[in-house]
Copies of this chain bind each other. A is one copy, B any other.
Amino acid sequence: MDTPAPLARLSLNQQTTQRWSLAEAIDGCVRAGVPHIGIWRDKIAAVGLERAVGLVRDAGIGVSSVCRGGMFPAASATERAARIDDTRRAIDEAAALGARTLVLVCGAAADRDIERGRQHVADAIAALVPDARAAGVLLGIEPLHPMFAADRSVITPLGEALDLAEQHDAAAVGVIIDAYHVWWDPQLAAQVRRASGRIAGYHVSDWLVPTPHMLLGRGMMGDGVIALRRIRHLVDAAGYAGPIEVEIFNQAIWDRPGDDVVAELVARYCVHV
């Protein structure tokens, strides 16, 4: 029960080297031998989808995910439809890039009614399933840490994400397990087991004590308190053998040279993940 994760599964989520363009991030991965990348849509938009596809193809790098669709709840039906349409475009981008998964960050309630927000999310995902299936893209519902329930996702524990995913075919809707978002959950082991066949991605970073910032305070693996190897073994035992994305939102890490950050995360991945 203490086997390091293989380097063949390592993926750089672009948020970790946020200042790098898509071309720079792909080059950085190639230099460091990181075989996958998780691509953000603002980075695609900066170069255009066609050029992004060319960069990925020329480098021969795997695209573990595209981030992100979602942000579904809204006060008006018009706005909700616009967000579903935007996620349709994200599905197309993921398909063009050969990404297995589109990450869904579900969004916050438009008012004080979190239950209505959850219904908006369920409705939007149901509307998108035919598009995902047609495109061959898996929708990965990412439950976020409950501290983001008011501004980023009404979907928080893993069990809640699974309740949503299980309303649909496992080929169309899965879940993203991010250690940072779920490590605190007393039901984690049971819910990861339940997620078997639904795991669309696994993300790692670490929980720093104290946490320097609610959004930009994630730590490099090994600098915090999350039992990362234990959780990765749970995810493996549930049958997930796909890419493991390192996704670290942290201003201090963004301020460092990207190559240094990638070198460090490769080393930390080997020791802690």
Contact = CB atoms under 8 A, between A and B. Distances in A.
A184 B143 CA distance: 12
A198 B179 CA distance: 32
Contact of A186 (B113, B156, B210, B226): B156
A109 interface: yes
A224 interface: yes
A222 to B, nearest CB: 10
Given A156-B184, A157-B186, A214-B214, A227 B145 contact: no
A249 interface: no
B207 A186 contact: no
Interface stretch (A9-17, A72-80, A124-132, A147-155): A147-155
Nearest to A211: B214
A24 interface: no
A207 B224 CA distance: 26
Given A156-B184, A157-B186, A225-B109, A211 B147 contact: yes
Given A109-B225, A225-B109, A225-B112, A147 B150 contact: no
Given A113-B227, A227-B114, A184 B214 contact: no
Contact of A114 (B146, B150, B183): B183
Interface in A171-229: 183-186, 207, 209-211, 214, 224-227
Interface size, A (range): 20 to 34
A160 interface: yes
Contacts of A232: none
Contacts of A68: none
A118 interface: yes
B210 A112 contact: no
Given A157-B157, A214-B214, A225-B109, A114 B184 contact: yes
B150 A225 contact: yes
A54 B269 CA distance: 59
